[in-house]
Amino acid sequence: MIRGIRGATSVEVDDRDAVLEATAELLREVLERNGVDDLDRVSSAFFTTTPDLVSCFPAEAARGVGFGAVPLLCASEIDVAGALPRLIRVLLHVDTTLSQKDVQHVYLHRAKALRPDLGEAQ
């Protein structure tokens, strides 16, 4: 079954290295927490960034983590007044035996504020 797995993280500055490092950290956490040890199980990945991040594409970090054959797409989030700045989000489509309720969505750093309902489980 293909399941959607969400994640988000933040950076303090719009810097290429910061965005790539944060994205790689996020992807590794999502994969680890969901037991994805074979990237052939990842059907695709969709990344978004807040409009204040323009230094690079987060998908570039995915290539460095091993997503070479995975279709990747990047887009900019809509610019909502009062939204958290400098966020990177990902939606992975993964072939897994996990039920959707057992999927572990991952929110790191300031992005934890996006999903306070996940509490310490995330």
Query: What are the residue ranges spanned by the domains of the chain?
Result: 2-121
Cα–Cα nearest to 90, from 4, 32, 11: 4
89 is a catalytic site residue: yes
Residue 33 has pLDDT above 50, yes or no: yes
State the DSSP H helix or E strand holding residue 44, giving kind and residue range, or none if neither: strand 42-49
Report helix, strand or coil for 119.
helix
Among residues 3, 33, 63, 110, the one annotated as catalytic is 63
Residue 89 pairs with which residues in a beta bridge? 8, 48
Among residues 3, 74, 86, 110, the one annotated as catalytic is 74
41 is a catalytic site residue: no
3 is a catalytic site residue: no
Report d(CA 80, CA 26) in Å as an integer. Answer: 23
pLDDT confidence tier of residue 114, bands split at 50, 70 and 90: confident
77 is a catalytic site residue: yes
Residue 74 pairs with which residues in a beta bridge? 47
Among residues 33, 77, 86, 110, the one annotated as catalytic is 77
Give the right CATH number for 2-121 from 3.30.1330.40, 3.40.1280.10, 3.40.50.720, 3.30.420.40. 3.30.1330.40
Report helix, strand or coil for 4.
strand
Residue 72 pairs with which residues in a beta bridge? 45
Among residues 3, 6, 33, 110, the one annotated as catalytic is 6
Residues 37-92: pLDDT tens digits? Answer: 999 999 999 999 999 999 999 999 999 999 999 999 999 999 999 999 999 999 99
pLDDT at 121: 47
pLDDT at 122: 47
pLDDT at 9: 97
Mean pLDDT of the chain: 94
